Structures are given as structure tokens and as C-alpha cells.
Amino acid sequence: MVRDELEKAFSSLKNLEQKIDQAHQSMVDGSDDGADYSDLIERYALLGGYSYHADVDRVAR
């Protein structure tokens, strides 16, 4: 329950994860050259996307 509330603060990162998945699928389908994917990955990294799960875990304990 606490974890769910904490994760709400990262809804923009969760939305970005969905966009990354969609961009990845577009590359797999051959309908995209990967430029969007690269931009999304860079933005995700800059916003702390690779560490927010650990941050939520640490605070939820």
C-alpha cells in the first residue's frame, strides 16, 4: 500500500516506460529508425528512470 502511493510520484517515468516499449516495438516492426527510442532512453536516464525502483524500495522499508 505504501509502495503504491510512493510509485504514484513516478507516474511520469511509468508513462515514459510505456513510450519506450512502444518505440522499441516500432523498431522491431521496422517502422522506425530508432531516433525516438534513443531520445526516450536518454530522457529516462536523465530523469532517474534506472534508479527510481530502488528509491521506492528504500523508502518503503
Confidence of residue 7 (pLDDT cuts 50, 70, 90): confident
Confidence of residue 61 (pLDDT cuts 50, 70, 90): confident
From CA 29, how far away is CA 3, in angstroms rounded? 35
Look up the domain containing 22 and give its range: 2-60
Write the pLDDT tens digit of every residue in 11-54: 999 999 999 999 999 999 988 888 899 999 999 999 999 999 99
pTM for the full predicted model: 0.82
1 vs 28 pLDDT, higher one: 28
Total number of domains in the chain: 1
- State residue 19's pLDDT score: 96
